[in-house]
A and B are shown apart, each in its own frame.
Chain A
Amino acid sequence: DAGVIQSPRHEVTEMGQEVTLRCKPISGHDYLFWYRQTMMRGLELLIYFNNNVPIDDSGMPEDRFSAKMPNASFSTLKIQPSEPRDSAVYFCASSKSREYEQYFGPGTRLTVT
């Protein structure tokens, strides 16, 4: 298996622009997680899905953030409008179930100027 795939790997955008991050989980995994990592706040869970249904989105910082999972093989995290404080590395992870390990993608490094 190719593992969790994220795109783009790097994104540089100007404040106010819309940003869309993409994730393809490992086939057969029922759980998908979106995380954000910064030096100041460490690793934070933003939202996670089970069988394409959002279970907990309490980590989504503001209404500017939204996430979707239209099918079992694809998810997006959208920021609109983006702000400089959104600059971070965004990770997507997936797992078979709660009893199994989470597998992380390589991350998307987002820079908002």
Chain B
Amino acid sequence: KQEVTQIPAALSVPEGENLVLNCSFTDSAIYNLQWFRQDPGKGLTSLLLIQSSQREQTSGRLNASLDKSSGRSTLYIAASQPGDSATYLCAADNFNKFYFGSGTKLNVKP
């Protein structure tokens, strides 16, 4: 069974800092990997989706990479802002099964 792990569980950084969130998975036979953000009391918002044949995806200040051989994905946030404060979750699509990490709670301090 796929296991998705996100470390650290929480992260606090000053505004303007570049940061990296980590996601690791045990089964490399994934169809794609998706990054979401969740604000308190809200649903999830999709940020980036990386197909298994891709190495990375970019959207604005966000860049997500995927390395299936090592079972890792990273989400890079450039020039962080207080509005980036949220919980970030990654999810692996294993061909008919979907597995979510427990998330990294990010706090960007003004």
Contact = CB atoms under 8 A, between A and B. Distances in A.
A101 B98 contact: no
A62 interface: no
Contacts of A101: 34, 46, 49
A108 B46 CA distance: 19
Interface string A24-51: 0000000001000000001111001000
A91 B100 CA distance: 14
Contacts of B102: 42
Interface of B is mostly: strand
A95 to B, nearest CB: 9
B21 interface: no
Interface residues of A, number: 22
B32 interface: yes
23 contacts: A33-B98, A42-B101, A43-B44, A43-B89, A43-B100, A44-B100, A45-B100, A56-B96, A58-B97, A93-B44, A98-B31, A98-B32, A98-B93, A99-B49, A99-B51, A101-B34, A101-B46, A101-B49, A102-B34, A102-B44, A104-B46, A105-B43, A106-B42
Interface of B: 31-32, 34, 36, 42-46, 49, 51, 89, 93, 96-103
Interface of A: 4, 33, 42-45, 48, 55-56, 58, 91, 93, 98-107
